[in-house]
Amino acid sequence: MPDFLEISQVDSFDLRAILEEAIAIKAKRRLLSSRGALDPELPMQNHVAALIFEKPSTRTRMSFDVAVRQLGGQSILLSGADIHLGAGSETVSDTARVISRYADIAMIRTFKPESLKEFAAAADIPLINGLTDQSHPCQVMADIMTFEEFRGPIEGRHVVWMGVGSNVCHSFIEAAAQFKFKLTFSGPDQFAPAASVLRYGGSNVSLESNPMMAVKDADLIVTDVWKSMHDAAVSDAALRDVLLPYQVNENLMAASQKDTLFMHCLPAHREEEVTSSVLDGKKSVVFDEAENRLHVQKAILKWCLRP
Ligand code: CP
Ligand code: NVA
Give CA separation, 146 vs 50, 68, 275, 285, in Å. Answer: 27, 21, 21, 8
DSSP code, position 131: -
Q: Specify the residue with its C-alpha closest to ligand 2, atom 3.
A: 228
The whole-angstrom separation of Cα 188 and Cα 273 is 13
Domain boundaries, the chain: 7-136+290-305, 137-286
- Catalytic residue, from 134, 157, 219, 265: name it: 265
Question: In sequence order, what are the residues at sequence separation of 6 or more whose Cβ sits closer than 8 angstroms to the Cβ of residue 203?
Answer: none
In tens digits, what is the pLDDT along the chain, a chain of 307 residues? 899 999 999 999 999 999 999 999 999 999 998 888 999 999 999 999 999 999 999 999 999 999 999 999 999 999 988 898 876 789 999 999 999 999 999 999 999 999 999 999 999 999 999 999 999 999 999 999 999 999 999 999 999 999 999 999 999 999 999 999 999 999 999 999 999 999 999 999 999 999 999 999 999 999 999 999 998 777 788 889 999 999 999 999 999 999 999 999 999 999 999 999 999 999 999 999 999 999 999 999 999 999 8
The whole-angstrom separation of Cα 31 and Cα 38 is 12
Kindly give the number of the ligand 1 atom that is closest to the alpha carbon of 61: 8
The whole-angstrom separation of Cα 171 and Cα 138 is 9
Task: Report the SS3 class of residue 165.
Answer: coil
- Catalytic residue, from 224, 247, 264, 304: name it: 224
pLDDT attached to residue 133 = 98
Considering the four listed CATH numbers 3.40.50.720, 3.40.50.1370, 3.40.190.10, 3.10.20.30, the one that applies to the domain covering 7-136+290-305 is 3.40.50.1370
Q: Which of 110, 166, 172, 293 to mutate to test the pocket of ligand 2 (most atoms within 8 A of CB)?
A: 166
pLDDT attached to residue 196 = 98
Does residue 126 contact residue 151 with C-beta atoms inside 8 Å? no
Burial class (CB in 10 A: 0-12, 13-18, 19+), 112: middle
The whole-angstrom separation of Cα 33 and Cα 31 is 6
The whole-angstrom separation of Cα 143 and Cα 149 is 10
User: Which CATH architecture best describes the domain 137-286?
Assistant: 3-Layer(aba) Sandwich (3.40)
The whole-angstrom separation of Cα 3 and Cα 164 is 28
Q: What is the maximum alpha-carbon separation in the chain?
A: 55
Burial class (CB in 10 A: 0-12, 13-18, 19+), 196: exposed
Residue length of the chain? 307
- Check if 58 has its Cβ closer than 6 Å to any atom of ligand 1: yes
Is residue 113 reached through a cis peptide bond, with omega within 30 degrees of 0 on the bond before it? no
pLDDT attached to residue 215 = 98
pLDDT attached to residue 164 = 97
One fold for both 7-136+290-305 and 137-286?
A: yes
pTM above 0.85, yes or no: yes
Respond yes or no: is residue 293 known to be catalytic: yes
Q: Specify the residue with its C-alpha closest to ligand 2, atom 7.
A: 228
pLDDT attached to residue 1 = 84
Give CA separation, 238 vs 158, 159, 235, 278, in Å. Answer: 30, 27, 5, 24
pLDDT attached to residue 307 = 84
Separation of CA 101 and ligand 1 centre (Å): 28
H/E stretch holding 77: strand 74-79
Separation of CA 225 and ligand 2 centre (Å): 7
